[in-house]
Structure 1
Amino acid sequence: MASQVTFIGAGNMASAIFGGMIDGGYPADAITATARDDNRLAPLRSRYGIHATTDNDAAVANADVVVLAVKPQVMRAVCEAMRDAVQTRKPLIVSVAAGLTAETLDDWLGGGLAVIRCMPNTPSLVGAGASGLYANARVSDDQRSLATTLLEAVGLVEWVDDEALLEAVTAVSGSGPAYFFLIFEALEDAGKRLGLPPQSARRLALQTAFGAARMAQQSEFDPAQLKRNVMSPGGTTERAIQSFEDGGLRQLFENATQACALRAREMAEELGKKS
């Protein structure tokens, strides 16, 4: 019998996760989603066949897993309002909200709970996500496996043993899609300046990125070797790569990810002070 999973919040990320679960064969009647406005829930009932309600307490009453998918700014009020229901049921708590620690969430929900924090990214919305997960000491092996199943519905899952490493996850995969979008944009613009029609420049840039990612995922070689495989001594690719190296591309990525991780830490501290 499938575990009963309740999503508190029915926005894009929650919809992507339970939609992926259902596409993968998870029974829709074992999934419940909540929102403040039933107008948001009606299309989800129709499309996915899940249970949907505006009553968080009722949704938690039979849940084995509660996925917290509301904005960090309203999370405390949401958690404290359903604290009694959560304490009665003691479900596994999975949070996809950035910046809120497992300890903070556990405190807002009354304490003594198994809590997993998840940092998904926006490609999860198209089933190609990358999520970093951290579990507190109360999470069992079976609960870890269940959380893996939930998040693998929208992509890759990587566990970290230190909660602070979620800041690194944010810097690499959480914010990472924007880095690649910037690269796509820059490559497209460069192609246009070289004379390519705009549509051709975009199609070539995006397909090249897609192909390179697929090769990197499927190859036995690491990215450094794959790069070397494209380069011929004295050739065009070698000249381009040398230009990137001379321009300090590696240091730019180092600076960017350090800045991202620092901001993630600052935001966590800001949210903690407000608690």
Structure 2
Amino acid sequence: MEMNAHYTSFVAVGDSFTEGMSDGLPDGSYRGWADLLAARLTALAPGFRYANLAVRGKLIGQIAGEQCGPAAAMRADLVTLVGGLNDVLRPKCDVERVCAQLADAAGQLAQGGGRLVLMRSPGREGPVLEPFRPRMERLFAEIDTLAARHGAVVVDLYASRALADPRLWADDRLHLNAEGHRRVAEAVWQALGLPAESDWDAPLPAAAAPGWGARRVADLRFAREHLVPWIGRRLTGRSSGDGRPAKRPELLPYEG
């Protein structure tokens, strides 16, 4: 697909992945792949504008209902949509309904007229995601259908061997760390037809696996700090994004 390498504006919609968790900054906020991509695009186009409407914990129906209309109205040159994973990782999920809501979101964004980018989210190695992989793969098949319908770019992070490496994930085992986000930004950059600066899917250097004791300590810390609070939110119907505003709600010049 031939790409137009000149972008003057970018709006990102989605959940925690696009908000930037867990690429933490010293002030406690998050950066993430979308901010990194905006910074690089700014260097190509003075006055480049960027908005990021993503909010952690959002389901795809919320993304479609709350973010996509405002994003389309911004009529940015470039728009990214990543969502649905929070839905399919829930114990009960109507995958076909999720796919329909994703189609609604993509349809709204396509009306904005900019280049639409969709992604197959990365999947970490290990047992945590295994029960959910059939749902994820059904969602990703829908992405191919939507890309063909709207002429969208698909960035396939799910097929990446490097991004499956646990060393590119944060302690919560659900979000990429800073190096993981850097690689995603490079993957999107290249998918837009821009010149590669690195091999985003290069494997990490070989390293000795942690011992049994270290793994058990990490498992206990993960359960205490991340898994138990996550289960508590599910049981009480709460979300980590409740009451949280978008990180960059307006399409304004970006100064990273």
**Range class of TM-score, shorter chain:** 0.3 to 0.5
Structure 2 length-normalised TM? 0.40
The structure, 1 or 2, with the larger RCO (C-alpha pairs under 8 Å, 6+ apart) is 2
Structure 1 length-normalised TM? 0.38
Q: Which has the higher helix share?
A: 1
Q: Return the index of the structure with the highest Cα Rg.
A: 1
